[in-house]
Structure 1
Amino acid sequence: MTSAELPPSSERHPPTRLLALGRPVARRLVSAWYDVRISGAPQVPSDGPVILAANHIGWLDGPLLAALAPRPVHALTKTEMFHGAAGKLLCRAGQIPLDRFRTDMSAVRQSLRVLRDGGTLGIFPEGKRGPGDLRRFHHGAAYLALVTGAPVVPVTFFGTRLPGGSSDSVPPRGARIDLVHGESWQVDQQPWPRTKEQVLHASVLLLQHMRRELDRARALTGRDLPGPLPAGQTEKDPDTGFVKRGTP
């Protein structure tokens, strides 16, 4: 599928200059501070639209995805992060603000524009930091894959939060951090109108695929997830998607 065949969007493409210029510097800094191990990078197509869908265990996940992914990433990022100097930096680096508590059409249009233009979109289907075990799973990644036909590459993080660590904690210097890119998943592009049933079915298939890739990443690295956040650390998140233990 060519980018011209993807759905049009009048939304402005997020800027890329700062993102492109800053990535080499960020990679050097991260590699000097942590023992970073990246697996499966060739799973990410070298060109064309792609969605990187990652588990979410710690504060570092977003910055590391932007810095270390094989291609510059425009990640959907909660609007709460877009305040002050950090918020300005996120905007200039092409990250996409997302209001998780309503249907945020601006975020959807910006995401479609990134994919239409052959870019890389980052998304955390769990919606918030936590155990990273994909027991929570929102439908946004599957919806965007269904609309565009773009492949979804699962990304599994290990080590960005230590067991028992708080939501905003980071591992100490020298800690090992693993990023594992899994086998891509793709669904046929579905022209408008798309039904809730189609989105739900695609989301079930993607969740099952990402859970298999999570198990594969565990076996590949010999690592496990950090477990739940400490009591009282869980942030609010809308009860949409698959939000109950063991569902679907």
Structure 2
Amino acid sequence: MSSAAHRERPRSDGVRHPTRWLLHGGRPMSRWIIRRRYDVRVHHPERFPDHGPVVVAANHIGIIDGPLLAIFAPRPVHALTKVEMFEGKLGAFLRMTGQISIDRFRADPRAVRVSLRVLREGGAVGVFPEGTRGSGELVKFQRGAAYLAMVTGATVVPMTFIGSREPGGHTNSVPAKRARIDIVVGEPVPVAAVPWPRRRSEVTALRDDLHQRMLTGLKEALAETGRTLPGPLPSGEVL
């Protein structure tokens, strides 16, 4: 996309594109390593657009959802990841793999601009609309995915994670060895770009439409795989 696109509001010419080399080059090896421990099955990868900007909107049940999204999506995904994770060695790794830090508790213009940079250059950004790990039933659904798609005209691709946290598993638990993890790619949703200024009501309407589509896709994914979600986090565990 031309540099002029980065000067549209909100501007993204003042931020750098996240690191790409390890995210792109390291995926085959990462898949091999993960599949030595888990039975990861990706359903309907053909639904994922092979080019152009994509916002991946996924349910969120386990701590490994972000890495699974980045590694097993049909195309490399720069996932929005809570800023608390960007500390120490883990933080360095997340930066090397091109993940995008976001403050979940206040407006984060930089996270938005970096995400727009990726999308305006034809890449994919991952969003967990629930905002935190939980039952994965999409009870909460924030506006971020709708906003990013509306600004850039990106296609929204729903994705459902099943099995990345076991029933009763705590906040940071991972599945047992050899557990099956299903990743179901949903039907893509084309979104037309809306020029500045964008009304809050327009973003909310798109958010509501995406929410309903994802709820339908969630039911279909559970029926197709014959599985269930793990339920809420144990009492007292709040992220």
* TM-score, structure 2 normalization: 0.95
Determine whether 1:20 maps to 2:24.
Answer: yes
CA RMSD in angstroms, aligned pairs only: 1.1
- Cα distance in 2 for partners of 1:46, 1:188 equals 18
> Could you list the runs of 5+ residues in structure 1 that have no partner in the other structure?
236-248
The one-letter code sitting in structure 1 at the alignment partner of 2:51 is D
Q: Are the structure 2 counterparts of residues 23 and 33 from structure 1 closer, same or farther at C-alpha, using a change threshold of 3 Å?
A: same
Question: 2:123 maps to which residue?
Answer: 119
Question: 2:90 maps to which residue?
Answer: 86
The one-letter code sitting in structure 2 at the alignment partner of 1:123 is V
Question: 2:227 maps to which residue?
Answer: 223
Question: 2:75 maps to which residue?
Answer: 71
Question: 1:60 maps to which residue?
Answer: 64
1:118-148 residue CA offsets vs partner (Å, 9 max, x unmatched): 0011110001000000001110000111111
The one-letter code sitting in structure 2 at the alignment partner of 1:201 is A
> CA offset at residue 186 of structure 1?
2.2
Question: 1:103 maps to which residue?
Answer: 107
Secondary structure of the structure 1 residue equivalent to 2:57 = strand
1:213-247 residue CA offsets vs partner (Å, 9 max, x unmatched): 11111111111110000001121xxxxxxxxxxxx
- Cα distance in 1 for partners of 2:71, 2:5 equals 26
1:165-218 residue CA offsets vs partner (Å, 9 max, x unmatched): 001000111101000000011222110001111111110011011111111111
Question: 1:244 maps to which residue?
Answer: none
Question: 1:132 maps to which residue?
Answer: 136
Map of 1:32-71 to 2, 5 A cutoff?
Answer: 32-71=36-75
Secondary structure of the structure 2 residue equivalent to 1:63 = helix
- Cα distance in 2 for partners of 1:222, 1:181 equals 16
* TM-score, structure 1 normalization: 0.92
- Cα distance in 2 for partners of 1:30, 1:106 equals 31
1:21-63 residue CA offsets vs partner (Å, 9 max, x unmatched): 2211110011111111110111111111111111000011011
Secondary structure of the structure 1 residue equivalent to 2:26 = helix
Q: Are the structure 2 counterparts of residues 70 and 6 from structure 1 closer, same or farther at C-alpha, using a change threshold of 3 Å?
A: farther
1:78-133 residue CA offsets vs partner (Å, 9 max, x unmatched): 00000001101101111000011111010000000000000011110001000000
1:178 alignment partner, one of 179, 182, 191: 182
The one-letter code sitting in structure 1 at the alignment partner of 2:110 is S
The one-letter code sitting in structure 2 at the alignment partner of 1:229 is L
Aligned residues of 1:58 and 1:167 also touching (Cα < 8 A)? yes
Aligned residues of 1:12 and 1:110 also touching (Cα < 8 A)? yes
Among the aligned pairs, what percent are the same residue?
55
Aligned residues of 1:131 and 1:227 also touching (Cα < 8 A)? yes
- Cα distance in 2 for partners of 1:6, 1:181 equals 29
Secondary structure of the structure 2 residue equivalent to 1:154 = strand
The one-letter code sitting in structure 1 at the alignment partner of 2:195 is P
Determine whether 1:207 maps to 2:207.
Answer: no
Q: Are the structure 2 counterparts of residues 7 and 224 from structure 1 closer, same or farther at C-alpha, using a change threshold of 3 Å?
A: farther
> CA offset at residue 7 of structure 1?
5.1
- Extract structure 1 runs of 4+ deviating beyond 6 A: none
Secondary structure of the structure 2 residue equivalent to 1:100 = coil
Determine whether 1:167 maps to 2:167.
Answer: no
The one-letter code sitting in structure 1 at the alignment partner of 2:158 is P
The one-letter code sitting in structure 1 at the alignment partner of 2:99 is Q
Secondary structure of the structure 2 residue equivalent to 1:33 = coil
The one-letter code sitting in structure 1 at the alignment partner of 2:170 is S
- Cα distance in 1 for partners of 2:181, 2:102 equals 27
> Could you list the runs of 5+ residues in structure 2 that have no partner in the other structure?
none
